[in-house]
């Protein structure tokens, strides 16, 4: 079934709670509905919206917003699972963990839907969704046909995929994703303090790791239902070893010569530095700017502090943070959030 409305309020469909409208809003239940849609007749541009958890609207959307209600989870055997694009991603994580499947437990409690998760290549605690994707099935709006892409063809990278490349952005609508999970124990505990946070003496299961990660995330991050945000606003910068040495020098000026900068060395020798640490070192943690603020428990998160923040206040705060981090560490932060 297709539902089509005009001047649809999107304030409850974006986790930043920006009070914006879409000129046209189309919600569909099946792949057959996509065939029936006349994309040429829809107001342009056409944009697909998942859970609205990784974007910042700066104004009313003058085109068409599409939203999927394709919601199913189907076991295909040997750990392969097909999941509809409209499924809440955390519901899928819960489903997998409850059945003893390994692979997505570290991604628990990340807001958003399955379709958007592969476009963004969401990640947390050393795991990215691209690690367990086998095939992504899509509808090509340009050629008006169904297509599919292997994980290799998706070209997954850090918060990046083929679907975000400028030449194809917005062309493909994800309809469902096939994941390859595992029934054999394969926990990923190396990132952050996850291993230390796990209960000692208990048998590791996907459900136990999922429960622990949810507890950690709830302690560090605001609940979208309570405080408007888009989760992690900035990407963790990846720098060369020489750039990292300069960051260390800058940090040791204020923190002493023995100060150790938190970091994670990648396989190619480059270094990932926590953006949250950089932002906190620049004194932004907990600071307000009009209706916007840096979250007091996690400086990587910008929040709609008053519930009435204007987009310009969020953007202004973002620019000031980027400028101060660049001045102090010589590193330019990039937003993870898509600004529309």
Q: Which residues are catalytic?
A: 159, 232, 336
Would you say 229 and 111 are in contact if contact means Cβ atoms under 8 Å apart? no
Q: 140 vs 69, 125, 163, CA distance in Å?
A: 18, 33, 11
User: What residues contact 161, with CB distance under 8 A and at least 6 apart?
Assistant: 118, 119, 120, 121, 130, 154, 155
**Residues β-bridged to residue 309:** none
CB atoms within 10 A of CB 164: 16
What tokens appear for 274 in the block? 């926590």
Query: Which helix (H) or strand (E) element contains residue 272?
Result: strand 271-272
Whole-number Å distance between alpha carbons of 279 and 154: 32
Helix (H, G, I), strand (E, B) or coil at 133: strand
Name the burial class of residue 15, with classes exposed (0-12), middle (13-18) and buried (19+) by CB atoms within 10 angstroms of its CB: buried
């Amino acid at each position: 079934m297709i539902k089509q409305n005009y001047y649809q309020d999107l304030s409850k469909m974006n986790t930043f709670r920006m009070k914006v409208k879409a000129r046209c809003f189309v919600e569909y239940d099946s792949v057959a509905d996509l065939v029936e849609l006349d994309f040429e007749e829809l107001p342009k541009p056409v944009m697909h919206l998942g859970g609205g958890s990784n974007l910042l609207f700066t104004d009313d959307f003058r085109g068409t917003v599409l939203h999927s209600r394709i919601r199913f989870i189907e076991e295909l055997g040997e750990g392969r699972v097909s999941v509809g694009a409209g499924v809440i991603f955390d519901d899928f994580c819960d489903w997998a963990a409850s059945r003893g499947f390994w692979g997505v437990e570290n991604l628990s409690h990340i807001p958003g839907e399955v379709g958007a998760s592969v476009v963004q290549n969401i990640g947390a605690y050393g795991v990215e969704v691209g690690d367990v994707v086998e095939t992504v099935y899509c509808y090509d709006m340009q050629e008006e046909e169904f297509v599919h892409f292997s994980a290799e063809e998706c070209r997954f990278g850090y918060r990046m995929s083929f679907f975000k490349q400028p030449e194809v952005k917005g062309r493909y609508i994800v309809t469902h994703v096939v994941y390859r999970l595992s029934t054999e124990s394969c926990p990923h505990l190396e990132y952050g303090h996850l291993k230390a946070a796990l209960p000692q003496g208990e048998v590791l299961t996907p459900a136990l790791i999922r429960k622990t990660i949810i507890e950690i995330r709830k302690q560090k991050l605001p609940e979208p239902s309570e405080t408007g945000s888009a989760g992690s606003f900035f990407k963790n910068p990846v720098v060369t070893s020489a750039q990292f040495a300069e960051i260390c020098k800058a940090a040791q000026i204020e923190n002493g010569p023995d100060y150790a900068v938190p970091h994670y060395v990648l396989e190619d020798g480059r270094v990932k530095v926590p953006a949250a640490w950089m932002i906190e070192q620049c004194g932004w943690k907990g600071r307000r700017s009009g209706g916007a603020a840096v979250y007091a428990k996690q400086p990587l998160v910008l929040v709609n502090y008053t519930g009435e923040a204007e987009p310009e206040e969020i953007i202004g705060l973002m620019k000031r943070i980027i400028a101060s981090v660049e001045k102090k560490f010589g590193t330019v932060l990039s937003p993870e959030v898509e600004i529309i």
